[in-house]
Amino acid sequence: MSISNWFKDIWFVFCTEINRIFHDSGVMLIFFGAGLIYPIIYNLIYFNDDLEEVPIAVVDARPGVESRRFIHNLEASPLVKIAATPQNMYQAKQLMVEQKVHGIVHFPDDYNEAIKSGNKQAHIDVFNDMSTFLYMKNVTSAVNFVMLNTMHDVQIQRYNMMGMVGEPAEQLVQAVPYSPVALFSTGGYSSFLVPAILVLIIHQTLFFGIGMLGGTAREENSELYYLPGKEHQKAFARIILGRALAYMLIYLGISFYCLIFIPRLFHLPHVGNLLDIIGFIIPFLIATINFCMTVSVFVRHRETGMITLLATTLILVFISGFSWPHAAMPTFWRYVSYMFPSTLGVNAFLHINTMGAHIGETMWEIRGLWIQSAIYLLTATLSLQISAYKDKKKRLAEQQANTIEYDEEQKK
């Protein structure tokens, strides 16, 4: 076959797939509706980024100078607000049950004595409302900050009692003064979560949409290979390339919207070079499209994609490595995570966009995406061949059954 005919076949498949996409309202809703609206919804949900003045209850079993000083410093924190000072833990628990407070700080009977004695370990009990992660984060962070400052003051006092004052005492407590600075993130929840979710939105909407197209073809008993006559038996690579180009054309625009426009619109971290981000988007899309086409051949029903989407999305969030570090992940799940383009995609995008890495510094992820692209191109072609072979056997079996039935009717 000449090269011109080869490209004509790809163009034929490309146009056919574009026509299928734009005549399927469900796929249009997934590709354009979910792909364009979900990034905005997630950003609006976490638009405030940080909570301030989370209401808490403070229970001081035996009020004293030290506990009052701690409470005063806690009240000064912008993270929490002391909304109640109940007399006992029972009253405090009732307030939490009624959602009037989202945390309880309890000072036991011996807190003040332990601080003053100098040889006892003082402790504070903190109870958190775990219904929302941000409540727990604020209460725990506020108590920890005040506790560290209190420990510093207590140590200085004890060294002063031993005759060490001024600079020598400060050096014994903290030999090297430091100021913590959060790199690559403002410390808010949206700057941590949303950039990774943007990559997963691209991955999952492609997966659902391509799976829906495959399921629709199965339900309508239409073949997934479009070249007419016997030609389709030798055109699997051209069919895969034509379909992939159709998805690529649509999702290049959606990817630029999700990964370039949205971070700037909602002031998410975006310190990466634009060309580096584009250099990441291309292999990520190719790997994801080929992966989705591999799976879509075996989707028998239109709704199967939705069930698979719901079952896999949360798993992909955890195994992608941004919330559960790969270093702490069991070996089995770490290797499973590399089967999905979203894992390498999330890490590459966070390195480039959030941390400002150049594409050369993320070559491990980029090479992995190109390797996945090649592997899933082969598996997509092979899966299409297997599907064509099964369909051919099914048609032959139906023809034989019809022939036998016809012969039996003729004998009668």
> Residues 31-48: what's their mean pLDDT?
88
Q: What is the dihedral of CA 80, 82, 87, 88, to 10 degrees?
A: -10
Cα(307)–Cα(352) distance, integer angstroms: 32
In sequence order, the 6+-apart residues with CB closer than 8 A to the CB of 360 are none
Predicted pLDDT at 225: 52
Q: What is the dihedral of CA 16, 19, 25, 30, to 10 degrees?
A: 70
**Is it the case that residue 281 has pLDDT exceeding 60?**
yes
Contact 173, 152 (CB under 8 A): yes
Q: Closest by alpha carbon to 102, among 69, 140, 68?
A: 140
Strand order in the sheet with 80-84: 80-84, 54-60, 103-107, 125-128
pLDDT in tens, 128-137: 988 877 788 8
Cα(394)–Cα(305) distance, integer angstroms: 24
pTM for the whole structure: 0.79
**Is it the case that residue 397 has pLDDT exceeding 60?**
yes
Cα(355)–Cα(347) distance, integer angstroms: 11
Predicted pLDDT at 365: 94
In sequence order, the 6+-apart residues with CB closer than 8 A to the CB of 67 are 60, 107, 111, 112
pLDDT in tens, 330-366: 899 999 999 999 999 999 999 999 888 999 999 999 9
Q: Closest by alpha carbon to 198, among 56, 348, 87?
A: 348
pLDDT in tens, 92-106: 999 999 989 999 999
The band of 412, judged by pLDDT with boundaries at 50, 70 and 90, is low
Task: Please classify residue 344 by burial: count the beta carbons closer than 10 Å to its beta carbon, then call 0-12 exposed, 13-18 middle and 19+ buried.
Answer: buried
- Average pLDDT value for the chain: 83
**Percent of the chain with pLDDT strictly greater than 90:** 34
Taking residue 5's Cβ as centre, other Cβ atoms within 10 Å add up to: 11
pLDDT in tens, 166-185: 676 666 666 667 677 777 76
What are the Cα distances from residue 307, in Å, to 119, 198, 213, 291? 60, 21, 15, 18
**Is it the case that residue 164 has pLDDT exceeding 70?**
no
The band of 1, judged by pLDDT with boundaries at 50, 70 and 90, is low
Q: What is the dihedral of CA 353, 357, 360, 362, to 10 degrees?
A: -70
pLDDT in tens, 358-381: 999 999 999 999 999 999 999 988
Contact 54, 102 (CB under 8 A): yes
**Is it the case that residue 391 has pLDDT exceeding 80?**
no
**Is it the case that residue 383 has pLDDT exceeding 50?**
yes
Domains for the chain: give ranges and CATH numbers.
3-46+186-403 (no CATH), 54-173 (3.40.1710.10)
Q: Which two tokens stand for residue 261?
A: 């426009």
Q: Closest by alpha carbon to 83, among 100, 98, 67?
A: 100
Contact 244, 290 (CB under 8 A): yes
The count of residues in the chain is 412
- Ordered DSSP codes for 263-295: HHHTT----S-HHHHHHHHHHHHHHHHHHHHHH
Q: Cα angle vertex 398, ends 393, 404, to 5°? A: 125
> Residues 234-239: what's their mean pLDDT?
77
Predicted pLDDT at 321: 86
The band of 264, judged by pLDDT with boundaries at 50, 70 and 90, is very high
What is the gyration radius of the CA atoms in the chain, in angstroms?
30
Cα(56)–Cα(171) distance, integer angstroms: 35
Predicted pLDDT at 130: 83
Predicted pLDDT at 230: 44
